[in-house]
Amino acid sequence: MLLLNGLLLGVLFGLALEKSRVFEPGAIVNQLRLKNFLMIKVFLTAVITGIVLLHAGELLGLFTIPSPKATDYGENMIGGLIFGVGMYLAGACPGTVLAQLGTGYRDAFFILVGGLFGVGIYGLWEPEITSFVNTGSQGKIVLADLLKDMPALVEVSSLHIAIGLCVLFAGVLYGLESWKSWQQEQGKHYDVN
């Protein structure tokens, strides 16, 4: 059931990605250059929607949300830097390159092949890369573990964290939309000069 829900949410997200045109290389580059915020608005909306639907499904007993995957700051910072530079240079990411392929962007095929090549290189050298990246690491952590040591009036659960993140993301979304509406930004991301 969880896989079916994930597939359904993926299809809906892909539809929103295509309809909003944030898969366009100019939209991606201009988001990273902080010139157009339509992409972050779409992604924040998708995250909020996903959090609400997942927790609603769990509360209704449709499925159980698995434990969160622990993270490591070193891996995330170095991986995020490489990923961000790649997104900027290619004007695509793993999700948007599929939308670009589906809509006929010729460069998307080469971006996909390059991404798969990078995954292959990582697979071959994963132990060496992991040991280098994790030097001085604090180990794997999850947000709930960080919050449990903080003095609080109530016990913090994953539902509390989800609600807090939804409120935070909705506030950021409201602020961005108040500053520049999506109607002003849509279609203005094609020029990257």
pLDDT in tens, 115-170: 999 999 989 998 888 887 776 666 667 776 767 666 665 566 778 888 999 999 99
In a domain, 151, yes or no: no
My answer on whether 60 and 96 are in the same domain is no
In a domain, 28, yes or no: yes
Of 115, 141, 167, at which residue does a domain stop? 141
Residue tagged 């995250």 (tokens): 47
In a domain, 11, yes or no: yes
Q: What is the pLDDT of residue 187?
A: 65
Range of the domain at 13: 1-69+159-193
11/161 Cα distance (integer angstroms): 26
Buried b (16+ CB within 10 A) or exposed e, 46-71: eebeebeebbebbeeeeeeeeeeeee
Split into its structural domains, the chain has a count of 2
In which residue ranges of the chain is pLDDT below 50? none
Q: What is the pLDDT of residue 12?
A: 81
Q: What is the pLDDT of residue 171?
A: 96
Q: What is the pLDDT of residue 109?
A: 95
Q: What is the pLDDT of residue 53?
A: 85
Q: What is the pLDDT of residue 139?
A: 65
In a domain, 148, yes or no: no
